[in-house]
Structure 1
Amino acid sequence: MTETYKSMENPLERLVNESGKNAADVLCPKENCECVILRKNAAVLVERDGSKLALPESSLPANSLLPDDDTHFWHVGNMMDFENVGFSTTVGTTKYLSCADCDLGPIGYHDTTDPKEFVISIKRAKYRF
């Protein structure tokens, strides 16, 4: 059974283990997609600028833009730490991350100015405990 961030009571307490890592598998947020993005204990919770998740205005209709108030992210330092993730072409200094199976995204980003900065929004995922 999977759960979304929004459906959890005290999500930060449930999602982060005593080591500061993800306490559950991180999955694609799409309802019928079960793609595993990160395995349990693979990433560390960090705070980052959520505005980097906003795509350039011209790429999406105004009514489909996602809020950029996310500040909590799962961080890995190597792209090989992901189980399944897709990367966009570089836009400015950002590569957007998406589900490798269904292409839903952005679910996170890679800041190309920092080769060890790969993050997935905790709100743009579902979880399997």
Structure 2
Amino acid sequence: MGDMELPEYAAKILQTRSDESRLCYATPCGGDEFEVRDQHVHFPIKLNTGTCGCGKWQHLGIPCKHVLRVIYHQRLQPAVFVSPCFKGKAYKLTYEEHMHPMPDPSQWPSLNLPNILAPLVKRFAG
């Protein structure tokens, strides 16, 4: 996986949202600001701050269908606007260090602590 390549999970989400973006219409408002109409709802978008009125882009880090409509309108590459945490470089950094093995539970130290039991459940009528 290349440093800028997207994993399968992010690529599938991007493709699904890309298909959904075909029903949206983008209108430039000046600078990097756009308004996207999705049926009867209008969403403000700012590319340089990474915000969309629906909030999906800010929360997940993968452009929503409204942002994708703007990206395609501007003839840009969608993968550039995906959060770095979804790209190959972050994946490689996650597994760069070796993993430390854990001993089997039979080898764990014995502690003289009381057993914790599940709470009692009271069943009510109905």
TM interval, shorter chain, is under 0.3
Structure exhibiting the larger radius of gyration computed from Cα positions: 2
Please report the TM-score for the alignment, with normalisation by the length of structure 1. 0.26
Higher relative contact order (CA 8 A, sep 6+): 1
Higher strand content, 1 or 2: 1
More helix by proportion, 1 or 2? 2
